[in-house]
Amino acid sequence: MRNLDAGLASFASSPSAENGRKAGDEDRQGPPSPRYAAIKQFLTDAVRDGTLKPGDRVPSEAELVARFSVSRMTANRALRELQGTGLLVRRAGIGSFIAEPKPIGQMIEIRNIADEIRARGHAYRATVVHNAGEKATAETAALLEVSVGTHLFHSVIVHHEADLPIQLEERFVLASIAPDYGEMDFTQTTPNEYLTRMAPLERFEHRVTAAMPDARVRAMLGLGHAEPVLVMTRRTWSRARLVSHAWLTHPASRFELSAAFSVDR
If one looks up domain 2-98 in CATH, what number appears? 1.10.10.10
Strand pairing category for 104-106 and 256-258: parallel
Tens digits of per-residue pLDDT, 11-49? 444 444 444 444 444 444 444 446 888 888 888 888 888
pLDDT for 102 beyond 50: yes
Q: What are the boundaries of each domain within the chain?
A: 2-98, 104-258
Tens digits of per-residue pLDDT, 103-148? 544 444 567 889 888 888 889 999 999 999 999 999 999 999 999 9
Amino acid at 212: M
Tens digits of per-residue pLDDT, 235-263? 999 878 899 999 999 998 766 665 555 55
CATH number, domain 104-258, options 3.40.1410.10, 3.40.50.2300, 3.40.50.300, 3.40.50.261: 3.40.1410.10
Distances (CA, A) of 95 to 62, 76, 79, 83, 229: 11, 12, 10, 12, 21
pLDDT for 206 beyond 80: yes
What pTM, to 2 d.p., does this model score?
Answer: 0.60
Reported as a pLDDT band with limits 50, 70 and 90, residue 82 is confident
